[in-house]
Amino acid sequence: MTEFQELETQDAVRMPWNVLPGSKSEAAQCVIPVSAIYTPLKPFPNTPTLPYAPLRCRNCRSVLNPFSIVDFSSTKIWICCFCLQRNHFPPSYQSISETNMPAELFPQYTTIEYESPSEKASLTNPVFLFVIDTCVIEEEIGYLKSSLLQVVGTLPENCLIGLITFGTYVHVHELGFGQIPKVYVFKGSKEVSKDQVLEQMGFFANKLKPTTGVIAGVRDGLSQESISRFLLPASECEFTLNSILEELQRDPWPVPADYRAARCTGTALSVASHLLGICVPGSGARIMAFLGGPSTEGPGAIVSKILSEPIRSHKDLDKDSAPLYHKAVKFYEGISKQLVHQGHVLDVFACALEQVGLAEIKVACEKTGGLVVLAESFGHSVFKDSLKQVFQSGGNDLGLSSNGIFEINCSKDIKVQGVIGPCASLEKKGPLCSEVVVGQGNTTAWKMCGLDKTSTFCLIFEVAKKESPDAIAQSANPQFYFQFLTYYQHPSGQMRLRVTTLSRRWVAGPGSVQARVLYALYAVCFCACKARALLTHLKLLGILLECEYLYFGLKSFDINRIIGTSGEWCEWTERSRNAIIRTFFSKRSMIWIMQVLREASKMKGNVVKRWKKTENLSQIFCARNFNKFGRYISLINVRGRRRSVIIIPELTPAGSS
């Protein structure tokens, strides 16, 4: 137990199975998949930061680590533990020996960071672009102004700040013009392109605009002076920004009594993403949107301005009867792709009693690793405390990392199914990709636009080793390896690479299951293994069903996602002593089932109740009943002459959220 606790403390990696089945067939018997819960930027005071570039394998591009085999003779060769490729050390390593090893070969440094001199020379400042909704009452604007003024005063002097306000129109404030308030206005009812932003905001007013290529930053012809008109260091624009915030008022356009305010949230976020893409592409930046109601104008609108038309409900989304939903989701998916490409983050602070459209906007927050805060009012303590927590200083910086790229290398008998967490696939396909996709899969590299010291990801793997009784016995090294590489922008502005390399063991052959269980009990002990397995299982449930978690812990249940020509399905499997019962439900039916199970589990006493749902050619029955053994819930799926029954003993949910 102490051994694995030390490894978790050393590498910030927790695995449900620290000993893996030695074949694909044995791995299929495990209800909890081979997985790892990893916190890439967990702070370690003893982890060194090396002032040079990492040494990579010329075949698989993995990084030199303590598990590499090193020949300290005159040839100076190291063998990659992943692909067994022989690599020569560069001239800078010629003085190494068994008594004079580089830090990356020390056994205790399985997690290490690199910071090359070239990256250290090119420092980039963190950027914050505030996008403020002015279609709220004066009291709410007063609360928001007070919180923002406090935050601006705590920002480091090197932070770049920009400001956009929106209501019926979008106003981009030119903070670099301190004589009088100066804004650029965009119509909220129309979608704004990047070229329109370039032309209307005068980025090429005094010189010719390039005829080809994508305009992005200083390297593509933009002068630093034109960029600093809209993004200024906090030390230079504090007075101007405070003056604008103090004079900020409600959107002046009148709103009829039977109409909603014209709020162009989608256009404002689109202009903000274009502005950052023009000024600071490939550099860490955050769009912080403060929303006070639903979008009713322009692209991304979720409801009509006519007050008599109600906003879409959860039932409307389930029945696919929300006319504006899919169009809005498609629009925000486009914004999320743009932000991921630029390396920028979208944070949403939604403070209103009514819905603001988070169901549509969430795709942009999830893909970019942004924050979402929900509160009743901008004066509520939830909003105030959360905003202060975001900008809470971590020493000499804010503690917010950004613009990260995460890669996985592993041994040839392990394949990557996917990652669950705030990231986006970079579609880097290769032999390590599994055919089964979980979360963001079919790749070995992901974009992580927003990171902090608590950002955690669930990595799902597949054992690809074929059945071979003597394979492990004949092997001289029954170990396999993982390597996680996180390339990110440090809060100080420097680009760093954190490398974590792990080693675990195979167990195969006669008695392997018993040996694996005994070893796991020895290593993890008591309920720690159950907690890890439950956490992984709940993450899978969340990504598959997109609803609240529900878990019954006595019997063994497994839920898998299946994507076929007829759509997306969920496979519910119950494993008992004598049989395996497998039932298929559509994703929509699965959400209904979870709601019914949640309702049934809250009922008290020996009450009999039944629920029924008809979909396509099948009928689903759920019943809460009791017998001499106690209360139970039965789930019946009838399709033609086929009938599947699953019995769930009624327990208190172990993982309700």
Query: CATH number for the domain including 502?
Result: 2.60.40.1670
DSSP 3-state of 182: coil
CB atoms within 10 A of CB 475: 13
Domain shared by 601 and 622, yes or no: yes
Domain shared by 573 and 507, yes or no: no
pLDDT at 476: 47
Domain shared by 107 and 163, yes or no: no
Taking the C-alpha atoms of residue 80 and residue 103, their distance in angstroms, rounded to an integer, is 17
Q: Which amino acid is at 59?
A: N
Asked whether the predicted pLDDT for residue 569 surpasses 70, the reply is no
Question: Picking from 179-183, 460-464, 469-473, 635-639, which range would have the lowest pLDDT averaged per residue?
Answer: 469-473
Closest CA to 592 of 626, 631, 551, 635: 635
Residue 655 lies inside a defined structural domain of this protein: no
- Return mean pLDDT, the chain: 81
Half-sphere exposure of 371 (CA within 13 A, CB side): 20
Residue 135 lies inside a defined structural domain of this protein: yes
Determine the number of helices (DSSP H) and then strands (DSSP E) in the chain.
16, 30
Q: At which of 362, 390, 418 does a domain end?
A: 390
Residue 317 lies inside a defined structural domain of this protein: yes
CB atoms within 10 A of CB 43: 10
Residue 538 lies inside a defined structural domain of this protein: no
Q: Which amino acid is at 23?
A: S
* Domains of the chain: total: 3
Q: At which of 356, 390, 424 does a domain end?
A: 390
Q: What CATH number is associated with residue 323?
A: 3.40.50.410
Taking the C-alpha atoms of residue 290 and residue 88, their distance in angstroms, rounded to an integer, is 54
Domain shared by 288 and 404, yes or no: no
Domain shared by 138 and 115, yes or no: no
Q: Could you tell me if 296 and 260 are in contact, meaning their C-beta atoms sit under 8 angstroms apart? A: yes
DSSP 3-state of 253: coil
Closest CA to 144 of 370, 375, 450: 375
Domain shared by 156 and 80, yes or no: no
Domain shared by 237 and 265, yes or no: yes
Residue 2 lies inside a defined structural domain of this protein: no
pLDDT at 599: 78
pLDDT digit string, tens, across residues 362-421: 999 999 999 999 999 999 999 999 999 888 765 556 778 899 999 999 998 899 999 999
The CA-based angle 119-218-404, given to 5 degrees, is 40
Taking the C-alpha atoms of residue 483 and residue 495, their distance in angstroms, rounded to an integer, is 19
Domain shared by 516 and 562, yes or no: no
Closest CA to 249 of 350, 132, 343, 341: 132
Q: What CATH number is associated with residue 605?
A: 3.30.2450.30
Residue 629 lies inside a defined structural domain of this protein: yes
Q: What is the CA radius of gyration of the chain?
A: 28
Domain shared by 191 and 340, yes or no: yes
Residue 174 lies inside a defined structural domain of this protein: yes
pLDDT digit string, tens, across residues 425-442: 999 998 999 988 888 999
In angstroms, how far is the first alpha carbon of the chain from the final one? 29
Q: Which amino acid is at 625?
A: N
Taking the C-alpha atoms of residue 573 and residue 278, their distance in angstroms, rounded to an integer, is 50
- Provide CB contacts within 8 A for 409, sequence distance 6+: 60, 61, 62, 82, 432, 444, 481, 482, 483, 485
Domain shared by 499 and 560, yes or no: no
What is the residue range of 251's domain? 127-390
Q: At which of 363, 390, 417 does a domain end?
A: 390
Please report which confidence band the pLDDT of residue 560 belongs to, taking 50, 70 and 90 as the band edges. low
Asked whether the predicted pLDDT for residue 139 surpasses 80, the reply is yes
Burial call 214-251: b when 16+ CB within 10 Å, e when fewer = ebbbeeebbeeebbbbbbbbbebbbebbeebbeebebb
pLDDT digit string, tens, across residues 30-83: 778 889 999 999 988 888 999 999 999 999 999 999 999 999 887 889 999 999
Indicate if the alpha-carbon torsion angle 380, 382, 383, 387 is positive or negative.
positive
Q: Which alpha helices (H) appear in 446-586, and where do they start and end?
A: 471-474, 512-524, 528-545
Domain shared by 435 and 322, yes or no: no
pLDDT digit string, tens, across residues 146-169: 999 998 888 888 889 999 999 999
Q: Could you tell me if 573 and 557 are in contact, meaning their C-beta atoms sit under 8 angstroms apart? A: yes
Name which residue leads in pLDDT, 586 or 309: 309
The CA-based angle 11-14-16, given to 5 degrees, is 150
Residue 537 lies inside a defined structural domain of this protein: no
Domain shared by 367 and 404, yes or no: no
Region class of 627: left (phi > 0), else alpha (psi between -120 and 50), else beta: beta
DSSP 3-state of 354: coil
Instruction: Show the tokens assigned to 316.
Output: 């409307």
